[in-house]
């Protein structure tokens, strides 16, 4: 006969429902890691797709617009073209050269990158920040040199995006599960649920995957132009709350502790 826990909960394979998340409390770490890997790879696919449709075409077009001579060396950009000059832009990304950051190139893109004489300025709806060119850098900033470099390294950049996305998700899931597992265990204890410390960590880790699936769809919607940058920020905040909601509901779906469930009811207690 199957244990009481297995009678109530499904096999730990799908983290899309609270009951499915609760099942990971008794799953092996290997099972949890495998499902997390699938979720992380799906998120990485959405990131790579977004880069290919939203950012990389702008970079490629900007490289085509660069002059035949130009270089960032000794902390300064050597530029012989017009300034300010927009190199390429779409609703997501804009690349421009403005040596003194004094031109009015507009701010229609969600992220604007301006290369100045001594720094690069990043602008968005949150404001702007400036990054100074390191004095020991020597980077070609011209079309003849950057075009073949970009063609050779673009696949590697996409592969790095996959690796960083997967590694970042696993690191954040592990960190947040470590922060959440004690409150989860306390909640299960006071709710008289059958859950130990290790199961609390696994359940907390599994409860973070629904939020990751939500952000995967959000990135796709953003890349399709269905969301703007403000809604993207709101969705990012909401995906954190999704994990909290799944944690609470999944704990309450766990069976009662065997010692509590075995206590016989008082036949003389009044019925409410």
State pLDDT tens for residues 6-52. Answer: 445 567 788 999 999 999 999 999 999 999 999 999 999 999 999 99
Domain boundaries, the chain: 4-51+154-260, 67-141
Instruction: In whole angstroms, give the CA distance from residue 76 to residue 99.
Output: 10
pTM of this structure:
0.85
Encoding tokens for residue 251?
Answer: 């704990």
The reported pLDDT for the residue numbered 10 is 62
The reported pLDDT for the residue numbered 137 is 83
Q: Cα 215–221–225 angle (5° rounding)?
A: 140
Instruction: In whole angstroms, give the CA distance from residue 5 to residue 25.
Output: 10
Break the chain down into helix, strand, coil percent, rounded to 5: 55, 15, 30
DSSP assignment of 95-137? EEE-TTS-------SSEEEEE-SSEEEEEETTEEEEEEPPTT-
Decide if 141 contacts 155 (C-beta within 8 A).
no
pLDDT tens column, 253-268 = 998 876 654 445 555 5
Q: Judging by DSSP bridges, how do beta strands 111-115 and 138-140 pair with one another?
A: unpaired
């Amino acid at each position: 006969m199957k244990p009481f826990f297995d009678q109530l909960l499904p096999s730990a394979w799908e983290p899309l429902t609270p009951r499915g998340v609760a099942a990971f409390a008794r799953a092996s770490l290997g099972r949890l890691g495998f499902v997390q890997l699938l979720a992380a790879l799906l998120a990485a696919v959405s990131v790579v797709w977004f880069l290919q449709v939203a950012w990389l075409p702008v970079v490629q077009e900007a490289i085509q617009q660069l002059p035949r001579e130009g270089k960032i060396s000794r902390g300064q950009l050597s530029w012989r073209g017009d300034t300010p000059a927009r190199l390429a832009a779409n609703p997501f990304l804009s690349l421009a050269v403005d040596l003194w950051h004094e031109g009015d190139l507009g701010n229609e893109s969600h992220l604007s990158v301006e290369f100045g004489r001594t720094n690069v300025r990043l602008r968005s709806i949150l404001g702007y920040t400036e990054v100074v060119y390191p004095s020991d850098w020597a980077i070609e900033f011209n079309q003849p040199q950057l075009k073949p470099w970009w063609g050779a390294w673009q696949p590697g950049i996409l592969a790095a995006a996959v690796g960083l996305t997967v590694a970042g998700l696993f690191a954040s899931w592990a960190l947040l599960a470590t922060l959440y597992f004690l409150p989860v265990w306390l909640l299960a204890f006071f709710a008289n649920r059958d859950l130990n410390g290790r199961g609390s960590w696994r359940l907390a880790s599994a409860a973070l995957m629904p939020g990751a699936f939500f952000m995967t769809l959000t990135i796709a919607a953003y890349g399709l132009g269905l969301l703007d940058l403000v809604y993207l920020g709101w969705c990012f905040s909401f995906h954190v709350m999704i994990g909290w909601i799944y944690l609470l509901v999944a704990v309450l779906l766990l069976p009662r502790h065997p010692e509590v469930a075995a206590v016989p009811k008082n036949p003389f207690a009044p019925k409410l």
